[in-house]
Amino acid sequence: MSDVAARLARVRERVATACARAGRDVGSVRLLAVSKFQPDELVREAYACGQRDFGENYAQALRDRAEALADLSDIRWHAIGALQTNKVKYVARAASFFHAVDRVEVATELSRRREGAPIDVFLEINIGGEDSKQGVGVDGVDALLAAVRPLPNLRVVGLMAMPPQPDDFVPEMARPHFRALRVLAERLGLPELSMGTTEDFEVAIEEGATVVRVGRSIFGERK
């Protein structure tokens, strides 16, 4: 097996083990391979191993990647980074999922430009109240949901968050933040939770994540 194949197999094992600990079906968790800055050939290797969901942080990189790999007809692209309104058109054309709705303006532009099937979107929550983080505060999520939910061509499916990661971070530190996001999603009646990265995705699964975003553990360090 190639390095990507072996790493991907190991991540899948870890996902399955975390699901077993939580008493969950492994099919309830979508593994999102974050391909940011990775060469196309590594994405192709992961695809050859059965991986279908890939995430890009930057809208123009997503556009270019989708064009370069257009022959992979059943690949699913996720836009996972903050988005400016003038870059929305790239996400509207290429992505099946957008994980970072934090402003009505972005959602409105995405709705206007989307054609075909609705795009599934997650509201991004600044769950730790950090000044350096994107996302709507917990106290603003009800208003954002009320404004975004009626928009055509979008389907609000869940919440996304990145918990604080101080210099002394260990995965267990993320648990209360993941738990708080799950409670918030339950209150809002949203079934999906995009939370957990290479550093803490197993804890996220134990706390209810339905999408985990893993890059380095699959592709290795970015070059």
Kindly give the confidence (pLDDT) of every residue in the chain, 223 residues in length, as a single tens digit, with 9 standing for 90 and above: 579 999 999 999 999 999 999 999 999 999 999 999 999 999 999 999 999 999 999 999 999 999 999 999 899 999 999 999 999 999 999 999 999 999 999 999 999 999 999 999 999 999 999 988 899 999 999 999 999 999 999 999 999 999 998 889 999 999 999 999 999 999 999 999 999 999 999 999 999 999 999 999 999 987 6
pLDDT for the residue numbered 1 = 55
Determine if residue 118 is left, alpha or beta; phi over 0 gives left, psi from -120 to 50 gives alpha, anything else beta. Answer: beta
Break the chain into its structural domains and give their ranges. 3-219
pLDDT for the residue numbered 102 = 97
How far is Cα of residue 106 from the mean position of the Cα atoms in its chain?
17
Q: What is the pTM of this model?
A: 0.96
Residues 6+ apart with CB under 8 A from 120: 96, 97, 98, 155, 157, 192
**CA of 136: how far to CAs of 61, 63, 67, 167, in Å?**
25, 26, 32, 24
pLDDT for the residue numbered 179 = 98
pLDDT for the residue numbered 222 = 74
Contact 179, 158 (CB under 8 A): no
pLDDT for the residue numbered 66 = 97
pLDDT per position as a tens digit, 93-134: 999 999 999 999 999 999 999 999 999 999 999 999 998 889
Distance CA 107, CA 137 (A): 17
Residues 6+ apart with CB under 8 A from 12: 31
157, burial (CB in 10 Å: exposed 0-12, middle 13-18, buried 19+): buried
Contact 87, 59 (CB under 8 A): yes
| DSSP count for the chain of H helices, then E strands | 9, 8
The domain made up of 3-219 is a member of CATH 3.20.20.10: yes
